[in-house]
């Protein structure tokens, strides 16, 4: 019977789809950036020390014009050029400055992970110091530091 063989065919197709769906477990979603305020909930101590460092205010080193330039913001914000990272001061103001996730990597998966698995940041690495810092700094890109800042 044509109709019943079509029915059986559809059933087999359905089963095959089911098997495929079972065999391919969903890959863990790529982590996205959540911002330092979220990290503060559990890491108040690290947040407090971070607030004392210029990393937490790095965007303020740039003028309003410079804050629009990719060649400037890329080291003064969090996750520039990466999925879910800083885009612009208008779109992603919460990801300005060199935040936790600039060094530790995007944190959404760490946030969701069960407590026992939080020990390791499951999102791999963020950036290395040397991705932003160089001993051979082009000092011409910097504004003259205000005299008052000399310690
Ligand atoms: C719900 C609580 C919670 C939040 C929110 C949270 N963490 Fe954690 N985190 C933990 C726990 C628990 C550990 C494992 C114990 C520990 O090292 O304190 C941990 C460990 C870490 C470690 C050390 C990993 C290691 O190798 O030992 C880093 C770095 C870290 N968290 C960064 C972050 C960052 C960045 C954020 C924000 C994106 C964040 N955490 C948000 C609970 C949290
Ligand atoms: C995403 C880029 C980026 C990364 C990664 C980064 N830094 Fe920085 N860091 C900056 C910028 C930008 C400043 C200057 C901020 C300012 O002066 O407004 C800075 C400033 C500093 C300062 C001066 C702090 C102060 O409060 O006077 C120290 C020290 C420092 N970084 C150390 C490190 C170390 C150590 C690492 C790695 C563990 C690191 N940085 C990773 C961008 C980065
Ligand atoms: C490769 C990463 C990188 C890029 C790109 C970058 N910066 Fe920075 N900037 C840093 C780091 C790191 C520091 C901290 C001092 C140091 O180690 O150079 C810093 C410090 C500064 C400071 C001094 C802040 C202070 O508190 O004294 C100013 C101003 C500044 N940058 C402006 C700019 C401007 C303007 C641009 C774009 C033309 C730019 N930066 C591009 C990484 C970068
Ligand atoms: C400039 C880079 C940088 C920034 C910004 C930064 N961290 Fe870290 N953090 C480090 C490094 C480097 C270590 C030491 C890692 C190691 O020991 O292997 C560390 C260690 C830690 C640890 C492990 C426990 C400890 O105190 O050593 C936690 C938790 C942590 N950071 C959370 C945070 C949180 C939360 C923020 C933001 C509020 C933050 N970090 C911002 C670089 C950074």
Return per-residue pLDDT of the chain as tens, 151 residues.
455 555 555 555 544 444 444 444 455 678 899 999 999 999 999 999 999 999 999 999 999 999 999 999 999 999 999 989 999 999 999 999 999 999 999 999 999 998 888 876 656 667 888 889 887 766 555 554 444 333 3
Q: Tokens 């303020």 belong to which residue?
A: 60
| Spatial distance between the Cα atoms of 67 and 135, rounded to a whole number of angstroms | 24
Pocket flag, ligand 4, residue 102 (CB < 6 Å):
yes
Please tell me the distance between residue 86's alpha carbon and the centre of ligand 1 in angstroms: 21
């Amino acid at each position: 019977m044509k109709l019943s063989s079509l029915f059986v065919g559809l059933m087999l197709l359905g089963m095959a789809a089911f098997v495929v769906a079972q065999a391919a477990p969903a890959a863990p979603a790529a982590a996205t950036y959540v911002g330092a305020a979220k990290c503060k909930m559990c890491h108040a101590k690290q947040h407090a020390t971070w607030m004392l460092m210029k990393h937490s205010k790095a965007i303020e080193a740039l003028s309003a014009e410079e804050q629009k330039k990719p060649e400037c913001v890329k080291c003064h914000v969090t996750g520039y050029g990466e999925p879910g990272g800083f885009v612009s001061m208008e779109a992603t103001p919460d990801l300005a400055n060199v935040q936790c996730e600039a060094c530790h990597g995007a944190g959404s998966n760490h946030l969701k992970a069960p407590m026992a698995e939080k020990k390791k940041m499951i999102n791999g690495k963020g950036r290395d110091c040397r991705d932003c810092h160089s001993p051979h700094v082009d000092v011409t890109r910097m504004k003259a530091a205000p005299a008052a800042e000399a310690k």
